Structure 1
Amino acid sequence: MCSRKVLVFPSAEEMGPALARLVSSRAKRACSSQRRRFSLGLSGGSLVSMLSRELLALPDLDSSAWIVGFCDERLVPFHNEESTYGLYKNQLLSKINIPEDAVLTINPSLPVEECAEDYARKLSETFPGEEVPVFDLLLLGMGPDGHTCSLFPDHPLLEETKKTVAPIRDSPKPPPERVTMTLPVVNAARCVAFVSTGASKAPVLKHVLEGGEGPPLPAARVVPSQGELLWLLDEPAAASLSLQVQRPPPGAEL
């Protein structure tokens, strides 16, 4: 049964430290379990700068037992400004004590179908014995059309049930070639946290969280089967919601 919480913060600036505490607390929980490691899936966009800034501000951050993957990635060289891994490497990963082989990246030199297969193989090797990789925490964003990862409205990939990672050649948002985790992987996570800010997101957030006409948008199809679902919003993004939300006090653990 999925446990959903909608958490609203006065501003994106006040949300940032809470997001870092969420990552830190889930990491400590995972590393103290029998698994002895913390698996984190990252998304791009505005999340890169917020997460990098706030995690680096934490005192005594220890990421030596972390495994980091990417919820989706654009098929571009790592030095390209569109590369999510490239951005995180420059802003965060090169500045913390995470082992280099614990960061799971695509091989951007491969054709997109082979790239997806190669990344799926890396996940399988990293999560041995799990038919579907179970991440401790996935951090997701949402586009103004309700897409998340590289899963777009009305796209056939929304119905994918067998692949853990899928190629996409026709992304409506450039660049067109990408690889993405599929919904079975997203919904297997122990915790999924959406981060969404700004007034431009308010209409689609209302649709996703409260329902609306037509088929569910991709973000609304994220319902972890055994885990937590958190929505971290700022006040402008939450302005149109009529459902009950929580407003955590400063310093609260999520």
Structure 2
Amino acid sequence: MTNERRVLVHNDRAALAASLAARFLTKVVDLLDQKQRVNVVLEGGRVAMDVLRQVNENPARDSVDWSRVHFWWGDERFVPTGDAERNDAKARDALLDHIDVPASNIHPMPAADGELSLDDAAAAYEAELRANPDGDLGMPRFDITFLGVGPDGHTASLFPEHPEVLEKDALVLPVRNSPKPPPERITLTRPALNSSRRIWVEIAGADKASSLGLALAGAAYSEVPIAGIKGRRRTVFFVDREAAAEVPENLISQSY
């Protein structure tokens, strides 16, 4: 089994989003030819929403049997249901409300206006993961996981020098005192993310160049969390030219 990292550079954020949306649709169709169910992990960054909007606008959108695709989230802001800051609300607006996907296939993390505390909400999402096993992992087998990266190198809600980034056992954790508002969040852990077959990291902007360069140079993941994320088969960094400024030429792929 391969376990490789590649960097694909696009001219700008718009080109990145269009290319990744087309690639996503093609890969999902291919996967559905091979297996009954496909599990996709979404994130809530600006580039991610560009990608989902491009998926929605792509003529190939309706060639996908969305009834066999399940959507999960890598992290979530612990705010009320429907809040514009929630990653699931943004994804619904960009794509999920526009495709024929059963409500039971959409697995949002619990919201702050429910009956669960932050700790119980994280535990409930881990329980939902474990209640939906697909394969031999005792949890969904994530086929494609989308991740973004912050200027500080954080991914999902795993922040530098915070204890959550060092977790080795749990699949889901509560996050308090996030350096990026809001302070309370829920996140998949590094073990959960690294169970993914394919991790697709979307990065745009000059402010992300240093984090990407450090991650590819082998920085400690406690200091640059994205450095510790690697898919079981492949990890691909889809970046624009500004974000690629500190990537060595020999790490840039000319093709997927």
Question: Does TM, normalized by the shorter one, top 0.5?
Answer: yes
Match of 2:236 in 1: 230
SS at structure 2 position matched to 1:120: helix
Shift of 1:92: 1.2
Instruction: Give yes or no for the alignment of 1:119 onto 2:122.
Output: no
Tell me if structure 2 keeps the 8 A contact 1:48–1:87.
Answer: no
2-structure distance, mates of 1:80, 1:101: 21
TM-score (norm 1): 0.91
SS at structure 1 position matched to 2:142: coil
Alignment partner of 2:108 out of 90, 105, 110? 105
SS at structure 1 position matched to 2:211: helix
Shift of 1:27: 1.0
2-structure distance, mates of 1:146, 1:25: 29
Shift of 1:60: 3.7
2-structure distance, mates of 1:191, 1:126: 19
SS at structure 1 position matched to 2:187: strand
Alignment partner of 2:210 out of 175, 191, 203? 203
Query: Mean alpha-carbon deviation: is it higher for 35-44 or for 142-151?
Result: 35-44
* 1:127 partner letter: P
Tell me if structure 2 keeps the 8 A contact 1:127–1:134.
Answer: yes
Tell me if structure 2 keeps the 8 A contact 1:164–1:184.
Answer: yes
CA RMSD of aligned residues (A): 1.8
SS at structure 2 position matched to 1:53: helix
Counterpart mapping for 1:55-204 below 5 A: 55-61=55-61, 62=64, 63-108=66-111, 109=114, 110-127=116-133, 130-204=137-211
Percent identity, please: 30
Tell me if structure 2 keeps the 8 A contact 1:146–1:204.
Answer: yes
Shift of 1:147: 0.3
Shift of 1:4: 0.9
2-structure distance, mates of 1:242, 1:8: 12
SS at structure 2 position matched to 1:106: coil
Segments of 5+ residues of structure 2 without an aligned counterpart are: none
Query: Mean alpha-carbon deviation: is it higher for 130-139 or for 166-175?
Result: 130-139
Shift of 1:55: 0.2
Shift of 1:223: 1.8
CA 1:36–1:171 in 2, change beyond 3 Å: closer, same or farther?
Answer: same
SS at structure 2 position matched to 1:64: helix
* 1:162 partner letter: D
The superposition leaves residues 158-207 of structure 1 with CA deviations (integer Å, 9 ceiling, x where unpaired) of 22122111111121111111110111111111100100001111122111
2-structure distance, mates of 1:215, 1:93: 34
Tell me if structure 2 keeps the 8 A contact 1:132–1:185.
Answer: no
**Greater helix content:** 2
2-structure distance, mates of 1:130, 1:228: 18
1-structure distance, mates of 2:93, 2:240: 27
2-structure distance, mates of 1:57, 1:126: 30
* 1:67 partner letter: H
CA 1:217–1:132 in 2, change beyond 3 Å: closer, same or farther?
Answer: farther
2-structure distance, mates of 1:127, 1:178: 24
